[in-house]
A and B are shown apart, each in its own frame.
Chain A
Amino acid sequence: MTQTNPASERAAETHDIVGSGHTFGSVTDKISSIVQTTRTPKAWYVGFTISFAFLMLLMVSVAWLFVRGIGIWGINIPVGWGVDIVNFVWWIGIGHAGTLISAILLLMRQQWRTSINRFAEAMTLFAVSCAGLYPILHLGRPEYFYWLLPYPSTMGIWPQFRSPLMWDVFAVSTYATVSALFWFVGLIPDFATLRDRATSTTGQVIYGILAMGWRGSARHWRRYEQAYLLLAALATPLVVSVHTIVSFDFAVSVIPGWHTTIFPPYFVAGAIFAGFAMVLTIMLPLRAAYGLEDFVTLRHIRNMCYVLLASGLIVAYGYLMEVFFAWYSGNHYEAHVILNRFYGPYAWLYWALILTNIVIPQLLWFSRVRQNLLVVWLVAMSVNIGMWLERFVIIVISLHQDFLPSSWGMYTPTFWDWSTFFGTIGLFCSLLFLFLRFLPMISIFEMRELVHHVEDEAH
């Protein structure tokens, strides 16, 4: 009878965050070779071309929007917030995983984060860029977006400080700034590595400028560690604040289905859920394409599955509370919202949401599922869809039938709604492909640190 010893497996797993036999040199070679090659893989060109085509679709959609106004979208009264706001919340949620992985897991001393944080942070930045577009486009007259800022206007216009929509402006822009800083600071030592290894003058100059004179002296490192930790501590509350405020955008109103106190934690959990799903969606193919199995190991994937499962369950708790209180409150309108979700004209979207967001992710309870990367990828994909549906259900179903039956209506997204959505996916993927080609997608110096620790433990 062969008996496996879970304790030794567990002990072995702690080493599993990096493949065995790696040295400082091999880590550096492996990661920087993806960037510093003269032969760009054909698949990269194919992927980038497709993404870029979608980016162009976005440009066309936005240009047409500026010409004709937001009437080209399907929104109207009573559904004044449609797919555009759904997309805003969806993208901003996706962004949160990056900060969570890079900042919170750093503060919690979770070593395994090292090989995925750079990539996840990049994803954050690109997702926030996509998200940030929507509220501006939605303004109708986007050239006046600066009216949202409290500046000494001679017209006496002053933003409403009690409105979370206005807090959003600060929260999202602060978040974008800190995320960009955090990402850039994290890249500095790697820029220096790339500068030193660059063979072309262009590469040396560009990476040299970006490295900001990094020499890797003890003093540099000391300052660097302090700055990095401080930024992590700054970024952590931002993760929570941004999505809390996004949830407030809805919950401070009196719309049934929007106004409920569970929204803040449930939105934050939803953001983490969506974000980890997106990290897995992109990471799994990349890992296979670039042969990164030694750096993104099964343990990473398992841990991400755990986070996915846990955050998904919190979201499910939110759904349950909504349904229970729709009945318990005895409030006619609250009850109508839930019944309308269950049986109304958009009911199929609600049930699709339950299937993709709650039922399918439960597969992750099984370790055999977690080890089957194709299934994990499919589950992550299901969550991506589910979280989009969730926002659609919350926004559209609550709006299209509210208090007065005489003002009920239906909402159908138009071609331009979809083209803008797929256009931002194009923007996201284009940026991602450029990132993969020109910057190290895994933090080289942190991986070296990790190899060092693992070696220490082995002795």
Chain B
Amino acid sequence: MIPHDLDTTLRRLQRRALLVGCAALACCLAAAAAAPGQFFRSYLVGFVYCAGFPLGALAVLMVHHLVGGAWGHLTRRFLEASTRTLPVLTLLFMPVAIGTRWLYPWTDAAAVGSDALLRHKALWLNFPFFIGRAAFYFAVWWTLAWVLNRWSARQDRTGDPALLDRFASLSAAGLVVFALTGSFAAFDWLMSTEPKWFSTIYGAMVAMGWMLAALAFTVIVAHYLSDREPVRSAADEQSFNDLGNLMLAFLMLWTYMALSQFLLIWSANLPEEIEWYLLRFSGSWLAVAISLPVFHYLVPFLALLSRPLKRCAPALVKVAGLLLVMRLVDNYWLIAPVYAHGGVHAHWMDALCPIGICGLWLAAFCWQLRQMPLIPLHDQEPETAQHEVPAHG
């Protein structure tokens, strides 16, 4: 399917990622017996972070099918390979399901019984429904990913142009479904760690973070593979420029949502809401909180304004790398303060769990990447893309 030397490279990467992932997770699992709470908390951060890659890729892929653009020609197969790892993500979800007792206060029957608000929410926040919903989300995502990939393979074989319209129709409906399932997954997996707190923008904000992470990862993959055919001829400056612009757009959207949530809650200063920020600004968490606007927004934002930088893939990859790191920091800041009031209590598993999960996932990604040609064979996009005026931007 792909050139032999590239296949060897990917195979080697896959083996290493698997090795690192297994080793890291094995260490964590060994420690889990002694400190199950810590293990599951660290694991949740890693899982939610890693979930961003396949889920964000699914969304970005559908956005591409809807709006087109040459950047998608370069990245489509990477995004598709990423969506094909969703079954692996489902497996990786299992520990979260097992660890609900340590992660989500609403699983504690005594606490729920003595609290009117939690009793009210028990209709939604209860273990069977939580698992049922997760199963439903995964089923929906699997279906979307499966159909999109199947059609993509058929497009490679037959070059049937009718598929283009079907891609677009499915993606339109798929994005609607994704917006809903993604948001509710964010409410379930992240927001319900603090079952009394709520914010209506939270789902959109988390989903945008996923899309940003997936795009940053894709940029890195595109650059990593761009020294050899067939990716080399597709990886032109303009494509990286477009990817940079897209990354900038996602970055601004994420910041817009995060800032909106902060400003509105800060300004209203209601006890039931402000608690969330007070917790995340307390003690050394404040430093983490401040690092977000600086390194998750300001630095990459200023960098991505520069056109020469966006056209220079190695520089763009550095920005993407920074964003990937900051996505992890953001996820950590969203989840960990719930269990560590008053300041950062970093544990070695906080680092090793994400490494383990991402290692396993990366191995799955490399394996899937080898299954199909790295650049679509009968993609109509480059031709239609040329009709756009190359004047501005």
Which residues of A are at the interface with B, using a C-beta cutoff of 8 A? 5-7, 10-11, 14, 106-111, 162, 229, 240, 244, 248, 251-254, 259-265, 313, 317-318, 320-322, 325, 328-331, 365, 453, 457
Asked, given contacts A261-B261, A265-B204, whether A6 binds B162 with beta carbons under 8 Å apart, the answer is yes
Q: Does B367 contact A (CB under 8 A)?
A: no
Q: Contact between B165 and A6 (Cβ–Cβ < 8 Å)?
A: yes
Candidate in A107, A229, A263, A328 with the most chain B CB atoms within 10 angstroms? A328
Q: A-facing mask of B257-281, CB < 8 A → 1, else 0?
A: 1001101110110101000000000
Q: Contact between A7 and B272 (Cβ–Cβ < 8 Å)?
A: no
Q: Contact between A265 and B256 (Cβ–Cβ < 8 Å)?
A: yes
A-B contact count, CB below 8 Å? 103
Q: Contact between A262 and B200 (Cβ–Cβ < 8 Å)?
A: yes
Distance of A263 from chain B, by nearest CB (Å): 7
Q: Which chain A residues lie closer than 8 Å to B202 at the CB level?
A: 261
Which residues of B are at the interface with A, using a C-beta cutoff of 8 A? 117, 120-121, 124, 161-162, 164-165, 172, 176, 179-180, 183, 187, 196, 198-204, 256-257, 260-261, 263-265, 267-268, 270, 272, 380, 383-384, 387-393
The 7 listed contacts between A and B (C-beta, < 8 Å) are A244-B260, A252-B267, A262-B204, A265-B201, A313-B179, A321-B203, A328-B187
Which single member of A229, A253, A261 contacts B201 (CB below 8 Å)?
A261
**Roughly how many angstroms separate A453 CA and B124 CA in the complex, as a whole number?**
57
Q: Contact between B200 and A261 (Cβ–Cβ < 8 Å)?
A: yes
Distance of A323 from chain B, by nearest CB (Å): 10
**Roughly how many angstroms separate A328 CA and B268 CA in the complex, as a whole number?**
20
Q: Which chain A residues lie closer than 8 Å to B387 at the CB level?
A: 11, 14, 457
Q: Contact between A262 and B201 (Cβ–Cβ < 8 Å)?
A: yes
Distance of B127 from chain A, by nearest CB (Å): 17
Q: Output the nearest chain A residue to B125 by Cβ-Cβ distance.
A: A328
- Report, nearest first, the 9 A-B pairs whose CB atoms are least far apart: A7-B161, A262-B200, A261-B201, A14-B387, A264-B260, A252-B267, A321-B200, A330-B120, A261-B261
Q: Contact between A261 and B165 (Cβ–Cβ < 8 Å)?
A: no
Q: Output the nearest chain A residue to B159 by Cβ-Cβ distance.
A: A7
Q: Contact between A7 and B380 (Cβ–Cβ < 8 Å)?
A: yes
Asked, given contacts A109-B393, A325-B200, A328-B121, whether A261 binds B380 with beta carbons under 8 Å apart, the answer is no
Q: Output the nearest chain B residue to A253 by Cβ-Cβ distance.
A: B268
Q: Contact between A7 and B388 (Cβ–Cβ < 8 Å)?
A: no
> Known pairs A265-B201, A325-B200. 5 more at Cβ < 8 A?
A5-B161, A109-B389, A244-B256, A328-B198, A329-B272
**Roughly how many angstroms separate A261 CA and B183 CA in the complex, as a whole number?**
14
**Roughly how many angstroms separate A110 CA and B202 CA in the complex, as a whole number?**
31
Q: Contact between A107 and B393 (Cβ–Cβ < 8 Å)?
A: yes
Q: Which chain B residues lie closer than 8 Å to A328 at the CB level?
A: 121, 124, 187, 198
Q: Which chain A residues lie closer than 8 Å to B390 at the CB level?
A: 109
Which single member of A11, A254, A457 contacts B268 (CB below 8 Å)?
A254
